[in-house]
Amino acid sequence: MANNFYIFMQMGLQHITDPKGFDHILFIITICAVYSWHNWKSLIKLVTAFTIGHSVTLALAATKVVVPNYQLIEFLIPVTILFSALHNIYKIENNHNFVYKYLTVTVFGFVHGLGFSNFFTAMMGDTQSIVQPLLAFNIGLELGQLSIVLVFMGLYLLIDKFLKIQKRDWTIFVSGASFGLSLVMILERM
Amino acid sequence: MSKKLKVISILFLFIGFYAFAHPVKLSVCDVTYQDGKIKMHYKLFQDDFIAFANIATNKKLDFENKNKDATAFIISYLNKHTSFKINGKSVTFKLKSNSKDATLVHIYLECKYNELQKENKIEIKNTILFDQFPEQINMYYIDLLGDKNPVSCRTGKDFPNDVWTVPFR
């Protein structure tokens, strides 16, 4: 069973970092776009908010307390990205209200968690206990999430160091790209 | 940023890169016993299986609507890549149905089996998608007691056969 734990953890890690299904990657990148390494504590808090959100609904859907409409969820996931990108740009000159952002990311995490549950339940046996696999899968998701954050922030560090791009411009660039890509996803999933 | 945080950050980066370097591909099969029949329910991720099936047959197979070509492919593929023995005797399963949802191809098989014994040696050979993906793992959950506490076993490219002693109702 210990090896099954590793397999489910690996599947969680792979699922969130899969470039083919990059909606989750794009959401995490969009959240990160307004932050630099100096505000790493705020960034960790936001990523934690996302973790809390998706863990709750992943568990609810995996235990069939909630039975999501996956088609609707797949549509809503890029909507969360679009909204986050717009908010980044709208609030670029003003201070971000952190409590509002924290609550928004948590709620968006609910949506992504329902999306994860589709993949998770596909891997489960019909009569299998979900506790250990769910924990393993969730740990894999968190590790993958942190890897995405680190790769993205590392990329920004290099760009800042060598290209001297302003933080504001970087935020607009990343948020604009997220907006465009999420809009395409929304139109594809309608 | 503190040195400790930098070290932790690099550690998590390696974990992320490890995911790319060592992917896992999975299929799942539930084996249950009910009303004198052993039932098998294969779940194959359609991203993996359908693309391969279409290339192998040079057709666009429809796994949703009882398509003859899809059914024929499933039967031929499972016969070639799986076997199931109970106490040394091969058990032949019959395809009941197959279907597809947003994520999976579902394949349902069953066979009549009345020779009950308290402890049964189950031998599984499963090489589904091994030729496509070296990282493929095929997982089984065998619940012959009906107590929703299945025995878990699996096959992988380094271990295509698996032998388990599974209690039987």
Residue range B60-79: average pLDDT? 86
| Helices A23-32 & A167-189 angle (0-180, nearest 10) | 150
Q: Is residue B10 part of a domain?
A: no
Residue range B74-100: average pLDDT? 90
Q: Is residue B8 part of a domain?
A: no
* Rounded Cα–Cα distance for residues B71 and B65 (Å): 10
Determine the distance in angstroms separating the CA of B77 from the nearest CA of chain A, rounded to an integer. 21
DSSP H or E segment with residue A187: helix A167-189
Q: Digits of tens for pLDDT over chain A (190 positions)?
A: 457 888 888 889 888 888 877 899 999 999 999 888 888 888 889 889 999 999 999 999 988 899 988 889 999 999 999 999 999 998 777 666 788 889 999 999 999 999 999 888 888 887 778 888 999 999 999 988 988 998 899 899 888 888 888 889 999 999 999 999 999 999 988 8
pLDDT of residue A29: 94
Please list every residue in chain A whose beta carbon sits closer than 8 Å to the beta carbon of residue B5. 40
- pLDDT at residue B150 is higher than 90: no
Phi, psi of B25 (to 5 degrees): -115, 140
Q: Which of A142-151, B10-19, B68-77 has the lowest mean pLDDT?
A: B10-19
Please list every residue in chain B whose beta carbon sits closer than 8 Å to the beta carbon of residue A128. 141, 150, 152
Determine the distance in angstroms separating the CA of A146 from the nearest CA of chain B, rounded to an integer. 7
Identify the residue among B15, B22, B107, B136 best suited for mutation to test binding to A, counting A beta carbons within 10 A and taking the highest: B15
Hey, what are B111's tokens?
Answer: 């066979």
pLDDT of residue B156: 81
User: What percent of chain B shows pLDDT beyond 70?
Assistant: 85
- How many Å separate Cα A56 from the centre of its chain? 14
Per 3-state DSSP, chain A is made up of helix, strand and coil in percentages (nearest 5) of 85, 0, 15
- pLDDT at residue B78 is higher than 80: yes
Q: Which residue of A has its CA nearest to B33?
A: A127
Determine the distance in angstroms separating the CA of A122 from the nearest CA of chain B, rounded to an integer. 7
Q: Is residue B123 part of a domain?
A: yes
Q: Does A151 touch chain B (CB under 8 A)?
A: yes
Q: Is residue B128 part of a domain?
A: yes
Strand B82-86 with B119-126, pairing: antiparallel
Q: How confident is the model at residue B16 (pLDDT cuts 50, 70, 90)?
A: low
Q: How confident is the model at residue B17 (pLDDT cuts 50, 70, 90)?
A: low
Q: Is residue B50 part of a domain?
A: yes
A148/B104 touch (CB, cutoff 8 Å), yes or no:
no
Please list every residue in chain B whose beta carbon sits closer than 8 Å to the beta carbon of residue A123. 26, 28, 43
Q: Is residue B53 part of a domain?
A: yes
pLDDT of residue A1: 46
Interface of A with B in 103-132 (CB under 8 A): 118-119, 122-129
A14/B23 touch (CB, cutoff 8 Å), yes or no:
yes
pLDDT of residue A91: 79
Question: What's the total number of domains in chain A?
Answer: 1
* Rounded Cα–Cα distance for residues B64 and B98 (Å): 7
Q: Which amino acid is at A80?
A: T
Q: Which residue of A has its CA nearest to B14?
A: A147
Q: Is residue B133 part of a domain?
A: yes
Question: What's the total number of domains in chain B?
Answer: 1
Q: Can you tell me whether residue A95 is helix, strand or coil?
A: coil
Hey, what are B109's tokens?
Answer: 């098989």
Q: Does A99 touch chain B (CB under 8 A)?
A: no
Q: Note down the domain range covering A116.
A: 2-189
**Do the Cβ atoms of A148 and A14 come closer than 8 Å?**
no
Which pTM value belongs to this model?
0.84
* Rounded Cα–Cα distance for residues B162 and B86 (Å): 12
Hey, what are A28's tokens?
Answer: 């995490």
Q: Note down the domain range covering B55.
A: 24-167
Residue range B92-96: average pLDDT? 92
Identify the residue among A143, A150, A152 best suited for mutation to test binding to B, counting B beta carbons within 10 A and taking the highest: A150
